[in-house]
Structure formats: C-alpha cells, structure tokens
Structure 1
Amino acid sequence: VFGNGDSTSYRGHTRPFAFPQPGHTITRVDGRVLCRYPDCRKCAASPEFAPIHFDCFVIFRQQCSVSASAALNRLWILAAWRNPWRGAQPIYLSVPVVDKDTLKRISGFCGLPRLYTLPLELLEIIRQYSRHSLLWRCIPALQLADYVSAMKPEPLLTVPLRELLFWERSGKFERVIASRPPLQTLRLTVNSAGISKVERLPGPPTYVGECTSRSAFIVQDEASISKVVAQLKDGRLRLNLPISLRTLPIWNTPAPPSLNLCKAYPADLASCQTIYTVEMDQIRGITFFFSSGQLFGIHIHRSEESYAMDTFSRNFPNRLRRTVVWIYLPISQYDRIFVLGIREALQSRDLNVLVRTELIGDIVIGLQSKGDVKDRCLAASAPVTMIYSEPREGRPVRFFGAHCRPPLDQALPKPFRLEKPGSCPIDDDAYFSWAPLCGVSSTLVFYDQNTGFCRGILFRYQNGGSRAVGQCRLHVDPAESVDRPVRLCFRTSSCPSRWNRTRHMVQVKFKQGARTNHTEKDIEGWEARPMKGLVKYWFTTESSFLVVES
C-alpha cells in the first residue's frame, strides 16, 4: 500500500509481487521500480510504501466490517506509522505472545481445533519453528481487522514536538503551558505498533543497566529536536524530521548511557539509528558475523536456547550470505568478562574483537592478523556494558564500544599478545581460533548438515569456562556432545574449489574410554591425539583446517 505526498492518507495499492533483495533492480510493479537501495534519492522523492503480505491483506479486507475505503485509509496509518518517521530503519523488537482468543477463532478451520489449549510455552516453541506460517500471521491480521472495524477516525493534527507535554497512544495530548517552563528532556517510547508514548523528564536519566527487547526509546534534549513536528491521526503519532536531521538515535534502554562515558571503534554514531546496550554479565554468548575481515552483525544469546538465524536472515541479502562467517563467543554463567577491546590491522583495516575473561583468559575474534596492528581498550573492568549499532542491511557495524563506569582513569590492562599461529594452511584470508585441550569437561562438535564435515567445536572446561573454535552455529547445525573426552580424532581432506583454489575440510570426533598418552594414525587417515596441548583451527566460509600442537 502507498500513501499521499506527506504520508497522512491512503492513496492506493499494487498487485502482489515477490519481495525484492536489497539494492537496485529493474523489476517494475504497476509501472513502479522496486528499489531497496539505502538512501536512494529517487525513493525519497516518491510516495511512501508499506509492504504487506498478500494473504494477510486478503484476510484483513474480508474480516473488516467497515467500507473498503475506510478500512484502507485506517490500514495505511497503522501500517506506515509503525515507523516513527518516514525512512526510519526497521526496529527489531520481541514478538508479542500468542493471543489465545484469536488463536481459538482460527485453529478450528485450520484443522487444529485443540491447538489453543496448549500452554503458552509450548505455543511459543511451535511458533519459533514455523514463525512465517500463515497460521501465526493470521492472528495479527484478524486483530487488525477487529481494531479497524471498531475504531473511530480522528482528523490529522500537526504540532511542533517541543509543544507536547504528554501523549499516550489512543489518548489526548497535553500541550506545554506558556506560563510553566517545561522539563527539557523528552522521552519517546516505541513498540511494535510505533510511537506509544511521549513524556518529559527533569533531565537525562541515569543509565542503571536496564535493557529490554519489548520497547525502544528516543531520549533527546528539547533543543536538539526544536524543528521536529509531531503528526497525530487516528490515535497514532508520527514524527516529521527536518531535512537537516536524518535520524534520531533509538535505544533498547529507557535511560541511555552518556556518550561521554563511552569508548568506541568504529564510532560513526551519526549514521546509526538503533543502538543496543548489553550487560555482558547477563548473557550466555555472542555470535559475531564477519565478512572480508569486517564486523557485519551481532547476535546476543540471552539464554542457552537462543540461536542467531533470525539476525543472519535479516542482516544479510542473499548475495552477501555466502561470504559471512559465524564466530561464537560463549560466556559461561560461571565466568566473567572484564576486558573488551578492538584490534585494527593498520594496512588492511581488518578488525578483531578482543575479550579477556576471568576463567578462559584472552580471546581474539576475527581474521588471522597480518602486519602491524593497533589495539584499543574499550572497557577494563567488570561488569562490562557493550554498546553497538544495528547495521543497515548488508552494511558493516558502524559503532562498537563499551560504557565505562567511574573511575574513568582506570589503569590499562596488560596488552593482548599478538597471536603467532604460523603460516595459514588454507587461505590468505582465513579466520583463526584456538583452544587448550587440557581440563576439558565436555565438547560439542558442529557439523555441516550436507557434508558431515566439522564446522566448529565448543569446549567446556572443568573450571567452568567455555571456548569455541571455528563456526559454532548454535541450534542451526547438527551437533554431537561428548562428556569427559580422552581422545581427539580428526582427519583432513581437500578438493578443488572455485577460482583455482583448494577447499580443505576436517572431520572431528571425540572419544571416551581409557586415557592414552600417545598419538595414533590409521590407514584411513584418522589421527588420534590425547587431550593435551592446543587445538588450532583455521576456517573460511567453505574451508576448515585443524592442527594439534603439544
């Protein structure tokens, strides 16, 4: 569906079409070019569009009890004004829990009449494995039809944002009274339906570690948004930004940390919209997505069940996915991160993420370093608050840093050692990781589902720490767990690949049983090593190579 020139009313809708990949395209729908190129000037001058699943659109129109024109006009405001302003990047919030009353309505004609009787926890697990099914998309379509059928339309009202004292969705707004100077800090709350609340605060709130995935927040001094206009219609509110203001920072905390207390690299905050704070003591791991040595995405694992496929799918178009590696940083509940940093290769500008934990020690995440490097310390004491920006689709992360708690003049930690893994055996641009084999309590080997070769290994140690090598794609690739292993068995092979390169692959198995202190190799090429020394692991998107050093 698309709107008029100022996006305040419905103008029309297109025929159904396949949603395009990011970038320029020559595909036309009803005479219009389907373009998803970031910051495209032609798109900025065209009417605003809001994409809707065709089957959801059909269900919505069938279930609305008002006229078609009234339903489409109200639908436009609800769909387009989910974005806090025109051109805002998508804000990824947690999905609301399943509405059982609506599920009861549809489960009968879906052939699942007892589905709605399941506990919410089971429904959420089922939805997680089938979230794009029409069954789940039908629920918000029906809810939207019910809401549109019952709502009373309200006329458009335009007010400078600086004149708003308070507003809450579907309620009346309060204006600033001239005789009473208003509080100078504004906070806007955003949820999955758009801006839900505008309020004023005595001053910038103090960050206390509160983070949420259910809402997002814009906190600004009144002077910085003096030219921003608020549009109100049908119980909704949207911002109209001046040309000089491209975006406003959106945080996952109601009290964003002061940027004066943050150290970051890269630190291009002006080009960032959505910024996340992460209390690293409260999470179970991080998946870093790298491509060509650059950090392209981050997924936070807040539980052992979390998996990063959703972040991968939304951040990377098809053409980029084949160049992306997943690097998992496990954070044991018994361990603690107390140093976070960045290593920059001065010649290539490749980045490594540097992490130091209490139980595991130093971890270097990224391409194998070559040439001169420069290390930057972002945080040097626990608890560490990591801050990063949501990248534009197909673009690298533009802000990565940490919030530094007082005192700010903390002594620098001891330097991270420069890894010297030796010559890279598989590719000039390979990623490198390593782990000790002593003191391992269990292993989890991740396999490529198509070939059966090893993608990565997660080690858990007797002291409570964890370390990963290779690509450990939790709950994405099949994995095999072994408790108290005594031998590492591996076999490497190779075959020709594209562009006259050689593809290397490794098979890995951990064995239990009687301990052994000697190395064995059979006629099939399998090598068995005792759990001593170090395992070194080089990998790219299609190759992997393992070496055990005493």
Structure 2
Amino acid sequence: MPEPSGHIHLQQQCSACGDAFSCKEAFVSVLRSGDSVTVVGSYEFPFGRGATDALNDRTGRTFTHCRPCVPCESATIHADCFDLFRRSCTHAKGLHRLLRAAVWRSPWHGAPKFKVCPEVDVHGSMLLAARACHLPELASMPPEIMCMIWRDAFAQPSLLGRYQSVVALAAESCDQDPDQQTSLSVCNVASWERGGRPLVEERDAPPFIRITIDRRGVRRIERLVQRPEFLHRRSDTELYIVETREAMAGVDVLFQSGLARLDLARTEVDLRPWDTRTPPPLESLSVRPAISKSIQFATIHLARITGITFFMSAKSGTVFAIHTHTSQAPSAVPTFSRLSKHQQWQACWIHVPFTSGDRLTHFGVRHVDSTSWHILVMKTPSCRFRFRGRTCPNTTQLRFEKAGDYIIGPHFEKDEEVQDSIWPVEDQLLLVCSISRTGSVLALNAFPQRSGTAVPPFAQIDQIRLPPAFTQAFFSSAPLENVVRLRVFTDHAKCCRGLLLEYEDGSKRSVGECRIGVDRQRVYRSPACICIFQEATELYIKACYRLEHKHVAGDWTVLDVTFRHEL
C-alpha cells in the first residue's frame, strides 16, 4: 500500500462504534491513498497538543485535531473495533466500505459533532450478553426486565454496546450491493431510507423536506405537504431538519451502497437540526444573541421534569450542558459523561429542583452586549451564588410560586442596558436550547411567545466584594426555618458537596453541588438542628434530632432550624 502523504485528521469518537476515545487508548487511522485504502497504526490516542506532537515525533507522521479538509477525510477507529470489523467482514472491498461508512457518519462535509445518543437494541444486546456470559436465561426474560438489567449493567458507553455496533456495521457492509456514487438534488428526492435506493420525483413532490440524522449520519429523507404542527415529542437518538423546498434548493445528496450524505458545495444554507420531528418555525423564536453561532436546537418540556442541572464552567460561566431530570433519567451522570475531559474538569453542577409542591410561573432570558468583568449570580429567597468572570453569556431566569426567582448566569452592572424576555409558564411552554459547535449552550428561548399582562421584572443583584481567594467560587444560601427534610450530598472523603432542603410549604432549595447519582446521600427527616464543622477547605455537615447533644471532637456550629437562620 502507498504511504499516506500530508496530515491525518484525528476524530474524538471512534468511526466504527461511535464511542469517545480515552487517553492512550489504542487506535488506527483508515484513509484513502489514491484508489486504495491505507491503515496507519496502531498508536495510543493523544489528548492535547503536547501529546500529539510527541506522537508525530515518535512516528514520523502528522496527526492533527484540526477540522477535516476533503483530502484528509479519514476514519479514526479503536484498534479492537478495527480487528473485530475485519474478522466479521472479509469482503474484498470491506475496508473501502468501512471508510465510506465512517466518513459519511458526518451528515455533510464539515458538519459539527451533533449531540445525539446511540440507538440501543436492548433485546439484541441481551442476546449477545446471554451468549458471551453463558447465561441463556437472559434471553428469555420479559422486555421490561431486560431494559432494567441493560440500564444498570450495560449502560452506554459499554464494551458490549461497542461490540454490537461494530458487528452490525460489518454485517451491513458485507450485504451492500456494489454500485456507483450518484448525486441528486434533495428537492428531487421523494423519499429515501438508509439501506435502500432513493425514490425520485422531479415535479410534484410536496413543498417541505424533512431529513433525519442519527449517530451514523443521514438516516431518512421524506417530503411533507405542510409544516407539521408542533408536538411535545423529542428524541435523544435522532435529529431533524425541516425546511422548505426553496430553502434547500442548492442542497444535493450523494447516494452509494445504501448510504447517503448531503453535499452543500452549491449553497451557503445553514442547516440546524432539532431534537423533535415537529420543530417550531425558527422565526417564532427571539433568541438573544443571534443564532448565527448555533448549530443545533434542543428542547425541554417543563411539565415532565423533576429538576434541571446546569453544567457550568467554573472559569467563564459558560453552560456546557443542561440535564433535565425525569423519572426515566433521574441522574445527570449520562449528560456529564458526554462532556469533554476538559469540560468535565471545569464543570460545576448547579441543580434547580422542580417539585409537585411548587410551580414554575415564569421563564426569562437576560442579555446584554458586554465584555466587561461581571459577577455570576443565582439568587432566590433561598439560594444565591456568585462568580467573577470575563465572558458574558446569557442568563436564565426561573420564577417559582413559592421558591421565588432564580437568575442563572452573569451579573450585569447597574449602568448596563439589559434586555429581559419573560414568558408565562403554561402547560404548552417549551424551552429551546441553542447549542454551539463546542456543545455548550449559547442561549435559552421559549415557544410559543406570549404577550399579556405586565410581568414584574427579575431583579438585578448588587455586586458584592469578595476576598481574592473566593473570586472563582460559587456562593449559595438557603433559609433553615421550616425544613422538614434534608438531603446531604457527600463525596468519597465524606466532605459535604451540597444540600437539598425541603420545606413545609412543599418547595425545595439547593445549596452547593447536588450531584444526583454521583455522591452519597444521607436523608434527615424533620431535623431539630444542623451541625457544621469546617477544617481548612473541607466542610462537614450533619443533622441531629435533639438540640442538646455533644460532638466527639471539633468545633461544631449548631443551627436551630426553628429560628430564622440562613445557611
């Protein structure tokens, strides 16, 4: 095989299984050299410029993490995934088909890495597990029990999921009929599904086009007679582009061997997928700042959640991701695991509880064009944190009937002109997250827009002076009066990370980092007092059921929950 020339693009996810690479995990690069396919490696996957430079010096090649140009489009694959594919697909053109499937995972050249989860075949995966573990009983269990076992034992990413993905890809590659690549205008495609051939309609095709995208690229193309009416249905495994025929006039589609990829060479259209098959019209949103930097829209149905966790940068105040807690997704760990290693290191978990005993009444967005220093503030009658930073993202505003106002984002100076957009929360209100190329949340919006009676504005919080040691720290507070239930979150060193307080009126308030699903929780019901002990930077908190008690050691502070103490 000829040696590859030029640089070799490194992808962060395996092109065969779709899972992210870990540091020093063995990988190979598969790339085209003329009419043949070359395999380079295996090597240890590098993270960071220093590790990449060291790999280049050691191998004499030029690996880069740059955005791929057409000449360097390649596949970065786990070494064990590559070996499994080669054993499972012995076709003479197997490597060519692997490379095409890998490159076409990107729905068009230069497409960003969209946030989309793999579609898991639980039944097929459990059959694999039954054979691999010699447990035939697994295959005969009811589907509900299978789902529970899969969720607890084989949650993504897992080696079993990786194995299943690669074996399925190999089977499809072996079954593909060889054909030549063809190109059609998307306006002339009446319908297409992965694995089949396109149905062409040049004249009378309906005016709206819907393109479905999953982790393997373009999955489906269909035509719609009219823009679908918005419905509260979203997907974690698929994204959808719904546009008019006129907006998609310059978009072509490449077809080959049952796969499809969009070609945007003739147009400058910005394609921004949604996580719902029936997205609202983009012009119905008033996202601030402008959506020019957005690459994807995600939706949140407020009526179905039990809380929201914001993963926020401890340096800039940027929201890396948002997890909505539901009965099906009670923990934010899966969302956290999809952040980059760098983002995970920076992220603070800011949890806002939703409860049946309280009601969200208003949602708002605050924006100002400013690059000055600011304080990041979250304030309610119960909760407050501040952070000094240099960037100026939007703030999110949440108003609860009992818990009061939450302002999550930057604090703006008194003389700055801020703009607030506030929506009343009704049954049909939908939050819309604008996602950037890096995966962070640029802005939140709401649909549908409503106008009506004047809404009391969210407050601007006065700036406070912080000691130098605390200028990059979050501060929070909550009243202790009328606490009926206290949840204390502690890490592996038994230090307190956060508190979740429940009150007689049914409201909840959070203090610190409530890392649900990560930290150990201890629950106190109707405590008489809360005891606090601080040693250097470590904080220890527990509750007691009697005011008169003794501590074995340490200078503990005892707070009576029947008085108006502020924690």
Q: What TM-score comes out, normalization by structure 2 length? A: 0.80
Identity of aligned residues (%): 25
**Corresponding residue for 2:74?**
49
The aligned residue for residue 457 of structure 2 is 415
How far the C-alpha of 1:106 sits from its partner, in A, is: 5.7
Does residue 250 (structure 1) correspond to residue 295 (structure 2)? The answer is no
Tell me the amino acid that sits aligned with residue 476 of structure 1: V
Q: Is 2:239 the partner of 1:222? A: no
- Which residue of the partner structure matches residue 7 of structure 2? none
1:13 matches 2:39: yes
The aligned counterpart of 1:401 is 445
CA distance in structure 2 between the partners assigned to 1:377 and 1:237 by the alignment: 41
- Superposed counterparts of 1:183-198, under 5 Å: 183-198=206-221
TM-score, length basis structure 1: 0.82
Secondary structure of the structure 1 residue equivalent to 2:228: coil
Is 1:448 the equivalent of 2:491? yes
1:505 is the counterpart of 2:564 = no
CA–CA distance in 1 between the matches of 2:554 and 2:224? 71
Distance of 1:411 and 1:136 partners within structure 2: 52
CA contact (8 A) 2:393 2:442 kept: no
How many residue pairs get aligned? The number is 508
**Aligned match for 1:60, one of 85, 106, 117:** 85
Q: Answer yes or no: is 1:272 the counterpart of 2:294.
A: yes
1:158 aligns with 2:158: no
What is the CA–CA distance in structure 2 between the aligned matches of 1:53 and 1:278, rounded to whole Å? Answer: 34
AA of the residue aligned to 1:528: V
Residue identity opposite 2:430 in structure 1: T
SS at match of 2:164: helix
One of 492, 504, 512 as aligned partner of 1:462: 504
Q: Deviations over 1:155-187 (max 9, x none)?
A: 211111122122222233222233x3x322211
Question: Is the partner of 2:43 in helix, strand or coil?
Answer: coil
Query: Deviation at 1:307?
Result: 2.5
After superposition, the Cα gap between the structure-2 partners of 1:18 and 1:44, relative to the gap in structure 1 and judged at 3 Å, is same
Instruction: Report the counterpart of residue 65 of structure 2 in structure 1.
Output: 36
Structure 2 match to 1:436: 479
2:514 corresponds in structure 1 to: 472
Q: Does 1:290 align with 2:290?
A: no
Q: Per-residue deviation at 1:470?
A: 0.9
Amino acid at match of 1:470: G
The unaligned stretches of length 5 or more in structure 1 are 495-503, 537-547
* Residue pair 2:74, 2:99 contacting (<8 A) in 1 also: no
Q: Is the 8 A contact 2:125 2:160 kept in 1?
A: no
User: Does 158-167 or 11-20 show the bigger shift?
Assistant: 11-20
Is 1:239 paired with 2:281? no
Asked whether the equivalents of residues 85 and 166 of structure 2 are also in contact (C-alpha less than 8 Å), the reply is yes
State which drifts further: 483-492 or 17-26: 17-26
> In the TM superposition, what is the alpha-carbon distance from 1:520 to its structure 2 partner?
9.7
Q: 1:113, CA displacement in angstroms?
A: 5.6
Indicate the residue corresponding to 1:541 in structure 2: none
**Separation in 2 of the partners of 1:535 and 1:470?**
17
Residues 523, 62 of structure 1: CA spacing in aligned structure 2 closer, same or farther, 3 A cutoff? Answer: closer
Q: Deviations over 1:245-282 (max 9, x none)?
A: 374101001111123322323x3422222210111111
How is 1:310-321 mapped onto 2 (pairs within 5 angstroms)?
A: 310-318=334-342, 320-321=343-344
Question: For 1:321, what is the secondary structure of its paired residue?
Answer: helix
Alpha carbons 2:154, 2:161 under 8 Å: kept: no
Q: Which of 392, 399, 406 is 1:356 aligned to?
A: 399
2 CA distance for matches of 1:202 and 1:50?
38
Distance in 2 between the 1:535 and 1:3 partners?
A: 65
The structure-2 alpha-carbon separation of the partners of 1:160 and 1:243, relative to structure 1 and needing over 3 Å to count, comes to closer
Tell me, yes or no, if the aligned pair for 1:253 and 1:277 is still in contact at 8 Å.
yes
Question: 1:254/1:108 Cα in 2 relative to 1: closer, same or farther (>3 Å)?
Answer: closer
Contact 2:394 2:443 in 1 (8 A): no
- Distance in 1 (CA, whole Å) between partners of 2:443 and 2:399 is 20
User: Contact between 2:125 and 2:161, CA under 8 Å: does it hold in 1?
Assistant: no
Query: Quick one: distance in 1 between partners of 2:397 and 2:564?
Result: 19
Q: What is the CA-CA distance between 1:490 and the residue it aligns to?
A: 0.9
In structure 2, the residue corresponding to 1:149 is in which secondary structure?
A: helix
